[in-house]
Chains A and B, each alone.
Chain A
Amino acid sequence: MSGYVSIALILVIALLAVGGLYLVAQYTAVASDPIEQLPFLSGWEPQEHALSRYHARWYPLTLLFLAFDVEMLFMYPWAVIVARDGMGAVVEMFVFLGVLMVGVIWAWREGALQWV
């Protein structure tokens, strides 16, 4: 348990460090308050807010990633017990990974890895 207390400690230190730096900058900066400005647009004014429904063309890739990423949930516990459980655990895990990899190759052939 003491490990997690240490982590909490270092989190507190991190927040204090960031906060402290802001305090220092309040004093050292030429003005303590931030200045509000238009976003930089090569020297022009924005015609609309940039916050918008951004067109992420690599969207199919995120789905592929999600499928594989959920699998990592099993990978970590597996790593701990694989030595104890022996070849059976290796075969099971890599057959599973192999199936996922087939999915990746299929998605690749469908063009999910190219978006420009």
Chain B
Amino acid sequence: MGLRDSIAQGALRRVHVLLVETPGWAEVRMAVEGELRLRGWKAATSPADADILVVCGAPGHELASVCARVWSQMPGPRSRVTVDVTRDVSTALDSAADELGDDDAQRRDARARPTSMPQGLDEHSSVDHAGMDHPGMPGMDHSGMDHSDMPGMDHSGMATHDHTTMSGPSGIPLASGAPDRDGLEMDVLHVPLGPVLPHWHAGLVVDCVLHGDVIGQAEAKVLPAAGVPVGLPPDGSAGGEQRRVVVRNCDQAARVLALAGWPSAATRAQRIRDAALVGAALADLGAQLESLVRTVGRSRLLRWTLRGIPAAIGAVGSGEPVTVRERMLDLLREAAQSAGGASERHAASDVASQQELLRALPALIEGTDVATARLIIAAASLDTASLAISGAMRHE
């Protein structure tokens, strides 16, 4: 077993982590991202790429079922962990890594899972995405996540659905055609973007009808959390408000830069963000931000690849239409000013304006391709936390 052990040891030096952020737990997600960087681990882009599933915060009903599905899509070895507060991040990752390194347990888990989908898509949950199928999420053990292990889920007994009349192979229907924006008929795919996607707003779901990679129609919603997060600590440190602006803006700009495919710039923005989170001197951060603004602003390649992509802010009625690139630079400049001591009180983003932005989002991305849509969505200052909380309150 020497080879297997040393392989397991090596694998633990480069763990890939799939992050799911519940709206409101941004701070925990950032802490995890910072910890990954420190350890030389990597954020996973999809379940197939992931070893550990980290759920930040307390997901609501739907988001929990999404987490369960994503968990069942991880190939293994795998482990999962829920992190509620920032100070638990490091120990949570440690324990998840321990679990990951336990070769015997991982092999048991692998054997316990069914190697083929019972009937492809299980019809029970395809009818209702609301995730009635995993009520007992938090306390579940690993093997219990897979559908076929669920007690009382008799697939054969459900074959009478009208759904089956249009079924294709494995119980999944084939794509059917619809005219595109030029009136040409081609197959369309229904592809939801979010909530589990790299560089994505927490809890946001944009259901898209895709013609090729172009979005025909879109609908946006936010999945609520199961509770209200503790949130950022109220002004304990000096310059709390400025610090918050630095953190928020850098996080958002990093997202846009990552989606623009510029990893070094995105990492720089993230590192400034994380330094601000742990209380680094704002003046230093200001200088770093100025330098980042210069680097990003100077890039002609970026100017060219982002040319003409409108930012969502213009659509919601506040002044001139700006591009995603200008918006991202503005975010960084604003952060630099805040770090430099400018403390203009920001109009707290009220729920009504956030809802308006969410409603305006589909119109902005319809007719664009997925890559462009991702940039537009990332540059929109959507505060999904406030939307999710208001949504959760409505549900109660």
Contact = CB atoms under 8 A, between A and B. Distances in A.
Interface string B176-188: 1100100010110
Interface in B65-94: 66-67, 69-70, 72-73, 75-77
Contact of A30 (B106, B121, B189, B368): B106
Contacts of B212: 54-57
Chain A interface size, as a band, is 20 to 34
A84 interface: no
B115 A34 contact: yes
A47 B190 contact: yes
Interface in A20-57: 27-28, 30-31, 33-38, 40-57
A55 B111 contact: no
Interface in B100-115: 103, 106-107, 109-111, 113, 115
B129 interface: yes
Given A30-B106, A48-B173, A49-B174, A36 B195 contact: no
A55 B115 contact: no
A59 to B, nearest CB: 10
A116 interface: yes
B72 A48 contact: no
Contacts, number: 118
Interface string B193-213: 111110000000100000110
A116 B214 contact: yes
Interface size class of B (residues with CB under 8 A): 35 or more
A56 B187 CA distance: 11
B201 to A, nearest CB: 12
Contacts of A31: 76, 107, 110-111
Contact of A43 (B4, B66, B111, B173): B66
Nearest to A58: B212
Interface of B: 3-4, 7, 20, 46-48, 66-67, 69-70, 72-73, 75-77, 103, 106-107, 109-111, 113, 115-117, 120-121, 125-126, 129, 168-169, 172-177, 180, 184, 186-187, 189-197, 205, 211-212, 214, 368-369, 372
Pairs of residues from A and B, 6 with the lowest C-beta to C-beta distance, nearest first: A55-B212, A43-B66, A52-B175, A31-B110, A52-B187, A55-B186
Interface of A: 27-28, 30-31, 33-38, 40-57, 116
14 contacts: A30-B103, A31-B110, A35-B115, A37-B72, A38-B117, A41-B191, A42-B193, A44-B192, A45-B69, A52-B189, A55-B186, A57-B212, A57-B214, A116-B214
